[in-house]
Structure 1
Amino acid sequence: MCRTVPDGRKPAPRRPHLPLRPLWLCRVCAAPWPCPVARLALRQEYAHDRIALSIYLCTVLHDAAADLYRLNPHDGPDPAALYVRFLGWATLPQP
């Protein structure tokens, strides 16, 4: 099934909301990654393996903390804020 826009043209393909390292911003919407769209995509991708999602997010949290600290060693990233950003949303029960 192919989506079309009102004038009949095919729309541009959707780009995945991936992180731009070392800033850890979304490459598409420039929000802090994981942005809401990336979170939704990750929940869908790992819908049947929430433990694997947590392990993946722990890995990227570790990478992000290292990258963000390297960018700004004097005011390094707040560990609590990084936890909420990378893991806090994933531990909430699914609706």
Structure 2
Amino acid sequence: MIGKVIGAFVGDRIAKQTKGVGGATGAALGVVATTMLRRMSLPAMLALGAGGYVAKKFMDKKDAEDRQTPPAPSTAPSATTTTKAA
């Protein structure tokens, strides 16, 4: 029982830092996560942790590449271009 309360508290805190997830949803996910972790074997926990680490590194690298890529130049004529009348 105490584990579920702690899981709900931690899930709520994490949900506040994550966009798209509300407090109640985070609390529910925290309870589910603690239940799942309690039933998992040690190798499964290690595999889950390693997978999360690799996914975070991949997402961080992708975000860094997106920030370094300059925007594509526009090929449409701009409104400030003037043409000479003949």
TM-score normalized with structure 1 length: 0.27
User: Which structure is higher in strand share?
Assistant: 1
Higher-helix-fraction structure? 2
TM-score, normalised by the number of residues in structure 2: 0.29
